[in-house]
Structure 1
Amino acid sequence: MKIKILFSTITAMTLLIFSAGTVTAQSMETTVPSLENESTDSTQSISDTVITTKVKAELAITEGIKSNDISVETNNGVVTLTGTQPDETLIKKAEAVAQSVKDVVRVDISGLTVDATPAN
């Protein structure tokens, strides 16, 4: 009698586990296609993140530019540079570097200013 109860319990648990797996698989099937229909906002933000990373990297390796003093933000391919640089020439150089990155639509440097404080 105890063996029958144990066997019934094991069988019931096995059926529950398999049916839960089937429900999960079916749920995933209905969820995954909806991800393909996501709006372009998520794709756009990924592209913007990649552009921002590339611009920061290019600024970091460009001679003369104080990249730690420049913040980079990208929205729909438009790169906005804010911060300071020692002179106007380096601001223009930072703009050119940012514009050279693939998929950059436009570069806004209105937030970059000349820092007239002498370096220590």
Structure 2
Amino acid sequence: MKNNKLSYSTVALVLSSALASTSVLADSHVTDKAEAVSNKAEQTVERSGDKLDKAANTAGQFIDDSVITTKVKAELLSNDAIASGDISVDTEQGVVTLSGFVDNQKTALHAVELTENIEGVQSVEDKLNVKGDNEQSLKEYADDAMITSAVKAKLLTDTSVPSLAISVETQDGVVQLTGEVESEEQSTQAENIVKGMDDVKSVKNDLKVKS
């Protein structure tokens, strides 16, 4: 009888130890799982935060570029020595591109210098074209204006190119395209459209592809 009591006590002790071990393992498993869930949640929050920061930076950059473009146009417009109506301004990440036509190289350099001194401008890309030594006749000027209007209208009819994002300038039948497009295909398509038009002598494709 005494041996049986001892056996029962031994069995009870073994069962108690087994249950305790199982409880510890269960607690450890639950703790590990909870930590894994917590880590995953933290990583998700961090990724979401990064995306929000990136979106905010992109929006801020767009606003800054728009402000810079406005400042440059205002500065050029206020300068009597520059025919700013023939100059297009485009800004991307603080880099300002000047395109269009000026009377001489001195005017082009002056426009670039004015732009470089504007707050927020990182650098200036000079894509200005100098007009010929002789002034265009009224007829030639009118012809170029008509070509410009015709090109803009033609681009508007083609849905495969972002026509509103493309600036058009014409000098002696030479059409210059500036602005931003989504892909090289759009740039090539816009150039081919203009090349196939009447009275267009050649096309200077200065379109940028968005990065």
| TM-score under structure 2 length normalisation | 0.38
1:84-103 aligned within 5 A: 84-103=101-120
Match of 1:50 in 2: 67
Out of 81, 94, 99, the residue aligned to residue 82 of structure 1 is 99
Q: Which has the larger radius of gyration?
A: 2
Amino acid across the alignment from 2:113: A
Give the whole-Å Cα distance in 1 for the aligned partners of 2:99 and 2:135: 20
Match of residue 68 from structure 1: 85
Q: Which SS does the other structure have where 2:113 is aligned?
A: helix
The aligned amino acid for 1:48 is D
Calculate the aligned-residue CA RMSD, in Å: 1.9
SS at match of 1:39: helix
Please state if 1:114 is matched with 2:117. no
C-alpha separation in 1, matches of 2:73 and 2:91: 11
- Number of aligned pairs? 86
Relative contact order (alpha carbons < 8 A, sep ≥ 6): 1 or 2 greater?
Answer: 1
Structure 2's unaligned 5+ residue stretches are: 1-48, 139-211
Q: Distance in 1 between matches of 2:125 and 2:80?
A: 21
Could you tell me which of 83, 101, 105 is aligned with 2:122? 105
In 1, Cα distance between the equivalents of 2:63 and 2:76? Answer: 20
Q: Matches of 1:70 and 1:108 in 2, distance apart?
A: 13
User: Matches of 1:43 and 1:70 in 2, distance apart?
Assistant: 26
Work out the CA distance in 2 between the residues paired with 1:39 and 1:64: 39
Q: What is the distance in 1 between the residues matched to 2:107 and 2:119? A: 21
Gaps of 5+ in 1: 1-33
- Quick one: distance in 1 between partners of 2:135 and 2:81? 15
Look up the equivalent residue of 1:65 and give its one-letter code: I
> What letter corresponds to residue 67 of structure 2 in structure 1?
V
TM-score by length of 1: 0.66
